[in-house]
Amino acid sequence: MTEHPSPTSEEAANLLRQAETTLTHTRGNAGWPTITAQMSMGAATSVYLLASRDTQFDAVSFIGMMVWVLAPLILVVAFAKVAKNGFGIRWGLYMAVWALCWSISMFFPTAAVRVPLAAVIAVASFVGALVEARR
C-alpha cells in the first residue's frame, strides 16, 4: 500500500474549491431534462389547444399531442435525478397549472376559453423552465 501525504492547508482549500465547482456544474446539468420536458409539454399542449379551438374532438391531433407530452415526461421519470429524488414543489405547481388549464379546456372547447388557456400554459411552461434553469 502506498501512503498518501496529507495535503497542506492551501492544497486542501484548492481541492475543496475544485469539488465545489464540480458539484455546482453537476447540479446545473442535472436540471436540463426537466426543463426540456416542461417546455415540450407546454408547447405541445398550447399548440393543441390553439389548433383545436371551436372544433369537435380530433383524435389524431389529441394522440399527436399526447405523444409529445408523454415522451419527455417518461424520459424525465426514468432518468432525471429530480425524479429519483422526488419531484419538488416547483414541479408540482407547474403540473397543477397545466392540469387545471387542460381540464378547463376540455369542458369549454371554445376559442374564447382555449386561447387564453394556451397562453397560460405557454407562460407557465416558460417561467417554470426558466426558474429551473436558474437554480
Q: What's the pLDDT tens digit per position in 39-86?
A: 777 777 877 777 776 666 667 777 777 787 788 777 777 776 666 655
How much is the average pLDDT of 7-15?
A: 78
Q: What is the pTM of this model?
A: 0.59
Question: Are 102 and 45 a contacting pair, CB within 8 Å?
Answer: yes
**pLDDT number for residue 53:** 63
**pLDDT number for residue 120:** 92
Query: How many angstroms separate the CA atoms of 9 and 14, rounded?
Result: 9
Query: How many angstroms separate the CA atoms of 128 and 104, rounded?
Result: 20
Q: Cell numbers at residue 26, please?
A: 453537476
Model confidence at 87, in pLDDT bands (50, 70, 90)?
low
Angle of the 32-51 helix axis to the 111-134 helix axis, nearest 10: 170
For the chain, the domains span 33-134
How much is the average pLDDT of 28-49?
A: 72
Question: Are 94 and 123 a contacting pair, CB within 8 Å?
Answer: no
Tell me what percent of the residues of the chain surpass a pLDDT of 70: 76
Centre a 10 Å sphere on the Cβ of residue 82 and count the other Cβ atoms it contains.
18
Would you report the helix, strand and coil content of the chain in percent, each value rounded to 5? 80, 0, 20
Residue 100 has pLDDT above 90, yes or no: yes
Rounded alpha-carbon distances, angstroms, from residue 21 to 18, 25, 82: 5, 6, 20
Model confidence at 25, in pLDDT bands (50, 70, 90)?
low
How much is the average pLDDT of 83-111?
A: 80
